[in-house]
Protein backbone atom coordinates (compact mmCIF):
# COMPACT_ATOMS: atom_id res chain seq x y z
CA UNK A 1 0.00 0.00 0.00
CA UNK A 2 1.47 3.33 -1.08
CA UNK A 3 0.36 6.89 -0.46
CA UNK A 4 -1.26 8.55 -3.45
CA UNK A 5 -1.27 12.30 -4.00
CA UNK A 6 -1.57 15.01 -1.39
CA UNK A 7 -5.10 16.18 -0.62
CA UNK A 8 -6.41 18.32 2.19
CA UNK A 9 -8.70 16.48 4.63
CA UNK A 10 -8.11 13.15 2.86
CA UNK A 11 -5.79 10.19 3.19
CA UNK A 12 -5.37 8.18 -0.01
CA UNK A 13 -3.64 4.81 -0.34
CA UNK A 14 -3.20 2.78 -3.52
CA UNK A 15 -2.49 -0.93 -3.25
CA UNK A 16 -0.82 -3.36 -5.62
CA UNK A 17 -4.27 -4.94 -6.05
CA UNK A 18 -5.59 -1.96 -8.08
CA UNK A 19 -7.79 -0.73 -5.20
CA UNK A 20 -7.43 2.80 -3.85
CA UNK A 21 -8.76 3.67 -0.41
CA UNK A 22 -9.88 7.28 -0.04
CA UNK A 23 -10.40 8.17 3.60
CA UNK A 24 -12.18 11.36 4.66
CA UNK A 25 -10.35 12.98 7.58
CA UNK A 26 -12.36 16.02 8.60
CA UNK A 27 -12.89 15.44 12.30
CA UNK A 28 -14.96 12.91 14.20
CA UNK A 29 -18.20 13.75 12.37
CA UNK A 30 -16.63 14.56 8.98
CA UNK A 31 -18.79 17.62 8.42
CA UNK A 32 -18.26 18.54 4.79
CA UNK A 33 -17.27 21.87 3.36
CA UNK A 34 -16.16 23.15 -0.02
CA UNK A 35 -12.53 22.30 0.74
CA UNK A 36 -13.22 18.64 1.49
CA UNK A 37 -15.55 18.16 -1.49
CA UNK A 38 -13.04 19.82 -3.81
CA UNK A 39 -10.33 17.48 -2.51
CA UNK A 40 -12.59 14.48 -3.13
CA UNK A 41 -13.45 15.60 -6.66
CA UNK A 42 -9.76 16.28 -7.43
CA UNK A 43 -8.77 12.90 -6.00
CA UNK A 44 -11.40 11.02 -8.01
CA UNK A 45 -10.28 12.85 -11.16
CA UNK A 46 -6.61 11.99 -10.53
CA UNK A 47 -7.40 8.33 -9.82
CA UNK A 48 -9.41 8.19 -13.05
CA UNK A 49 -6.12 8.86 -14.86
CA UNK A 50 -4.09 6.41 -12.78
CA UNK A 51 -3.75 3.00 -14.54
CA UNK A 52 -2.76 1.31 -11.26
CA UNK A 53 -6.22 2.09 -9.87
CA UNK A 54 -9.32 0.25 -11.05
CA UNK A 55 -11.71 0.66 -8.10
CA UNK A 56 -12.02 3.10 -5.18
CA UNK A 57 -13.17 2.52 -1.60
CA UNK A 58 -14.56 5.68 0.01
CA UNK A 59 -14.29 5.53 3.79
CA UNK A 60 -14.19 7.76 6.85
CA UNK A 61 -11.73 8.03 9.72
CA UNK A 62 -14.32 9.47 12.10
CA UNK A 63 -17.33 8.28 14.05
CA UNK A 64 -19.64 9.39 11.24
CA UNK A 65 -19.33 8.70 7.54
CA UNK A 66 -20.41 12.30 6.95
CA UNK A 67 -22.79 14.24 9.20
CA UNK A 68 -23.51 16.83 6.51
CA UNK A 69 -22.92 20.54 7.04
CA UNK A 70 -22.30 21.87 10.54
CA UNK A 71 -25.36 24.11 10.81
CA UNK A 72 -25.02 24.31 14.60
CA UNK A 73 -21.72 26.19 14.25
CA UNK A 74 -23.36 28.93 12.20
CA UNK A 75 -22.22 27.50 8.88
CA UNK A 76 -24.07 28.93 5.90
CA UNK A 77 -26.54 26.38 4.60
CA UNK A 78 -24.91 23.80 2.37
CA UNK A 79 -24.96 24.37 -1.34
CA UNK A 80 -26.07 27.96 -1.29
CA UNK A 81 -24.55 30.42 -3.73
CA UNK A 82 -21.47 32.41 -2.78
CA UNK A 83 -19.48 35.19 -4.37
CA UNK A 84 -17.14 32.67 -6.02
CA UNK A 85 -17.64 32.02 -9.76
CA UNK A 86 -19.68 28.92 -10.50
CA UNK A 87 -21.36 27.31 -13.48
CA UNK A 88 -24.34 26.24 -11.36
CA UNK A 89 -24.58 29.06 -8.83
CA UNK A 90 -23.02 26.82 -6.16
CA UNK A 91 -19.29 26.00 -6.03
CA UNK A 92 -20.13 23.21 -3.59
CA UNK A 93 -22.62 21.57 -5.94
CA UNK A 94 -20.15 21.94 -8.80
CA UNK A 95 -17.90 19.56 -6.86
CA UNK A 96 -20.79 17.15 -6.34
CA UNK A 97 -21.34 17.04 -10.12
CA UNK A 98 -17.60 16.44 -10.62
CA UNK A 99 -17.74 13.46 -8.23
CA UNK A 100 -20.73 11.96 -10.04
CA UNK A 101 -18.69 12.36 -13.25
CA UNK A 102 -15.91 10.03 -12.07
CA UNK A 103 -15.08 7.11 -14.36
CA UNK A 104 -14.11 4.29 -12.00
CA UNK A 105 -16.36 2.25 -9.66
CA UNK A 106 -16.57 3.33 -6.03
CA UNK A 107 -17.53 1.25 -3.00
CA UNK A 108 -18.61 3.22 0.07
CA UNK A 109 -17.75 1.96 3.57
CA UNK A 110 -20.47 3.54 5.72
CA UNK A 111 -19.23 3.35 9.30
CA UNK A 112 -21.72 5.70 10.96
CA UNK A 113 -24.09 8.55 10.29
CA UNK A 114 -24.68 9.76 6.73
CA UNK A 115 -26.97 12.74 7.28
CA UNK A 116 -28.36 15.44 4.97
CA UNK A 117 -25.71 16.34 2.43
CA UNK A 118 -23.69 13.48 3.94
CA UNK A 119 -26.35 11.14 2.58
CA UNK A 120 -25.94 12.84 -0.79
CA UNK A 121 -22.21 12.13 -0.62
CA UNK A 122 -22.98 8.54 0.42
CA UNK A 123 -24.87 8.05 -2.85
CA UNK A 124 -21.88 9.00 -5.01
CA UNK A 125 -20.43 5.45 -4.71
CA UNK A 126 -21.88 2.67 -6.87
CA UNK A 127 -22.23 0.39 -3.82
CA UNK A 128 -22.47 0.85 -0.07
CA UNK A 129 -21.33 -1.53 2.67
CA UNK A 130 -22.60 -0.50 6.11
CA UNK A 131 -22.29 -1.63 9.71
CA UNK A 132 -25.13 -1.78 12.28
CA UNK A 133 -24.05 1.57 13.71
CA UNK A 134 -24.82 3.36 10.43
CA UNK A 135 -27.73 5.81 10.34
CA UNK A 136 -28.92 7.46 7.14
CA UNK A 137 -31.24 10.44 6.94
CA UNK A 138 -32.44 13.04 4.48
CA UNK A 139 -33.10 15.34 7.44
CA UNK A 140 -33.56 18.66 5.64
CA UNK A 141 -37.26 19.10 6.47
CA UNK A 142 -36.39 18.67 10.15
CA UNK A 143 -34.27 21.79 9.65
CA UNK A 144 -37.05 23.63 7.80
CA UNK A 145 -34.96 23.35 4.65
CA UNK A 146 -34.94 21.76 1.19
CA UNK A 147 -32.87 18.66 0.26
CA UNK A 148 -29.69 19.22 -1.72
CA UNK A 149 -26.63 17.47 -3.21
CA UNK A 150 -28.79 16.03 -5.98
CA UNK A 151 -30.77 13.86 -3.53
CA UNK A 152 -34.08 14.73 -5.20
CA UNK A 153 -32.81 12.69 -8.17
CA UNK A 154 -30.35 10.16 -6.72
CA UNK A 155 -32.41 8.94 -3.75
CA UNK A 156 -35.62 7.98 -5.65
CA UNK A 157 -33.46 6.54 -8.45
CA UNK A 158 -31.87 4.21 -5.90
CA UNK A 159 -34.71 3.17 -3.57
CA UNK A 160 -37.85 4.14 -5.46
CA UNK A 161 -40.14 7.13 -5.36
CA UNK A 162 -42.36 6.14 -2.41
CA UNK A 163 -39.52 5.29 -0.03
CA UNK A 164 -37.63 8.42 -1.07
CA UNK A 165 -40.71 10.60 -0.52
CA UNK A 166 -41.09 9.15 2.96
CA UNK A 167 -37.46 9.86 3.86
CA UNK A 168 -37.60 13.38 2.42
CA UNK A 169 -40.97 14.44 3.83
CA UNK A 170 -40.30 13.15 7.36
CA UNK A 171 -36.54 13.62 7.60
CA UNK A 172 -36.43 10.49 9.76
CA UNK A 173 -33.30 8.48 10.46
CA UNK A 174 -33.13 5.07 8.82
CA UNK A 175 -31.29 2.37 10.73
CA UNK A 176 -28.84 0.08 8.97
CA UNK A 177 -31.12 -2.99 8.81
CA UNK A 178 -33.96 -1.01 7.22
CA UNK A 179 -31.47 0.63 4.86
CA UNK A 180 -30.43 -2.83 3.70
CA UNK A 181 -34.05 -3.90 3.18
CA UNK A 182 -34.90 -0.84 1.10
CA UNK A 183 -31.74 -1.09 -1.03
CA UNK A 184 -30.13 2.04 0.39
CA UNK A 185 -27.09 -0.07 1.30
CA UNK A 186 -25.96 -3.29 -0.39
CA UNK A 187 -24.37 -5.22 2.47
CA UNK A 188 -24.48 -5.10 6.26
CA UNK A 189 -21.50 -6.41 8.25
CA UNK A 190 -20.05 -5.92 11.76
CA UNK A 191 -18.05 -2.71 12.19
CA UNK A 192 -14.82 -4.67 12.56
CA UNK A 193 -15.29 -6.20 9.11
CA UNK A 194 -16.52 -3.08 7.31
CA UNK A 195 -13.32 -1.98 5.57
CA UNK A 196 -12.32 -5.55 4.72
CA UNK A 197 -15.72 -6.31 3.20
CA UNK A 198 -15.72 -3.09 1.16
CA UNK A 199 -12.22 -3.98 -0.03
CA UNK A 200 -13.31 -7.50 -0.97
CA UNK A 201 -16.17 -6.09 -3.02
CA UNK A 202 -13.74 -3.70 -4.71
CA UNK A 203 -11.32 -6.57 -5.45
CA UNK A 204 -14.07 -8.58 -7.12
CA UNK A 205 -14.71 -5.63 -9.46
CA UNK A 206 -10.98 -5.05 -9.97
CA UNK A 207 -10.52 -8.64 -11.18
CA UNK A 208 -12.68 -7.91 -14.23
CA UNK A 209 -11.39 -6.23 -17.38
CA UNK A 210 -10.83 -2.59 -16.36
CA UNK A 211 -11.64 -1.08 -19.76
CA UNK A 212 -14.82 -3.14 -19.97
CA UNK A 213 -15.87 -2.17 -16.43
CA UNK A 214 -15.42 1.54 -17.13
CA UNK A 215 -17.26 1.16 -20.42
CA UNK A 216 -20.21 -0.60 -18.77
CA UNK A 217 -20.25 1.94 -15.95
CA UNK A 218 -20.31 4.82 -18.40
CA UNK A 219 -23.29 3.26 -20.18
CA UNK A 220 -25.18 2.48 -16.98
CA UNK A 221 -24.60 5.96 -15.54
CA UNK A 222 -25.15 7.77 -18.85
CA UNK A 223 -26.47 11.28 -18.24
CA UNK A 224 -26.11 11.02 -14.44
CA UNK A 225 -23.90 14.13 -14.00
CA UNK A 226 -26.31 16.19 -16.10
CA UNK A 227 -29.28 14.94 -14.08
CA UNK A 228 -27.49 15.77 -10.82
CA UNK A 229 -26.63 19.23 -12.15
CA UNK A 230 -30.27 19.84 -13.07
CA UNK A 231 -31.43 18.56 -9.67
CA UNK A 232 -28.97 20.73 -7.74
CA UNK A 233 -30.00 23.79 -9.75
CA UNK A 234 -33.62 23.29 -8.65
CA UNK A 235 -32.58 22.40 -5.10
CA UNK A 236 -30.43 25.51 -4.87
CA UNK A 237 -33.32 27.70 -5.98
CA UNK A 238 -35.54 26.31 -3.23
CA UNK A 239 -32.77 26.39 -0.63
CA UNK A 240 -32.16 30.06 -1.33
CA UNK A 241 -35.89 30.68 -0.95
CA UNK A 242 -36.03 28.97 2.46
CA UNK A 243 -32.73 30.31 3.75
CA UNK A 244 -33.31 32.64 6.69
CA UNK A 245 -36.98 31.73 7.28
CA UNK A 246 -38.23 31.48 10.85
CA UNK A 247 -38.76 27.76 10.39
CA UNK A 248 -35.20 27.16 9.28
CA UNK A 249 -33.79 29.15 12.19
CA UNK A 250 -35.99 27.15 14.55
CA UNK A 251 -35.06 23.84 12.91
CA UNK A 252 -31.33 24.49 13.28
CA UNK A 253 -31.74 25.72 16.86
CA UNK A 254 -33.91 22.75 17.83
CA UNK A 255 -31.42 20.30 16.31
CA UNK A 256 -28.54 21.91 18.20
CA UNK A 257 -30.57 21.76 21.43
CA UNK A 258 -31.68 18.18 20.74
CA UNK A 259 -35.41 18.90 21.02
CA UNK A 260 -38.42 18.75 18.67
CA UNK A 261 -38.76 21.83 16.51
CA UNK A 262 -41.81 24.08 16.77
CA UNK A 263 -42.42 25.18 13.19
CA UNK A 264 -44.76 28.08 12.42
CA UNK A 265 -44.83 28.02 8.61
CA UNK A 266 -42.93 31.30 8.17
Q: What is the pLDDT of residues 221-260, one digit of tens each?
A: 999 999 999 999 999 999 999 998 999 999 999 988 989 9
Percent of the chain at pLDDT > 90 equals 88
Other beta carbons less than 10 A from residue 132's beta carbon: 13
* CA 154 – CA 156 distance, rounded (Å): 6
* Percentage of the chain exceeding pLDDT 70: 93
**C-alpha to C-alpha distance for 122 and 183, rounded to whole angstroms:** 13
The pTM (predicted TM-score) of the whole model is 0.93
Going along the chain from its start, the domains and CATH numbers come out as 2-191+211-256 (3.90.226.10)
- pLDDT band at 85; cut points 50, 70, 90: very low
pLDDT at 82 over 70: no
pLDDT score for 256: 87
pLDDT at 69: 82
Does the pLDDT at position 127 exceed 50? Answer: yes
Give the span between the Cα atoms of 161 and 16, in whole angstroms.
41
The pLDDT value given to residue 49: 97
Report, in this order, helix, strand and coil percent for the chain, each rounded to 5. 45, 15, 40
Mean pLDDT lowest for which of 83-92, 106-115, 253-262?
Answer: 83-92
Instruction: Give the mean model confidence (pLDDT) for residues 93-101.
Output: 96
Where do runs of H (alpha helix) occur along the chain?
34-48, 91-100, 117-122, 151-159, 161-170, 176-181, 194-206, 210-220, 224-242, 246-256
How distant is the alpha carbon of residue 182 from its chain centre?
A: 18
* Cα distance between residue 54 and residue 208, in whole Å: 9
Reported confidence tier of residue 71, pLDDT bands at 50, 70, 90: low
pLDDT at 70: 74
Amino acid sequence: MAKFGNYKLLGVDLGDDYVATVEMQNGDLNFFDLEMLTSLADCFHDLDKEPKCRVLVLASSGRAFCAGANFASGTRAEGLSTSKPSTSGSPLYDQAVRMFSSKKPIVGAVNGAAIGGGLGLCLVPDFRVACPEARLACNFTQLGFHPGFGLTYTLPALIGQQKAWNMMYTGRRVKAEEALQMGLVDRLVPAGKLRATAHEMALEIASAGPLAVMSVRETMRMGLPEKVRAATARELQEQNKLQGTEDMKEGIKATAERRPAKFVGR
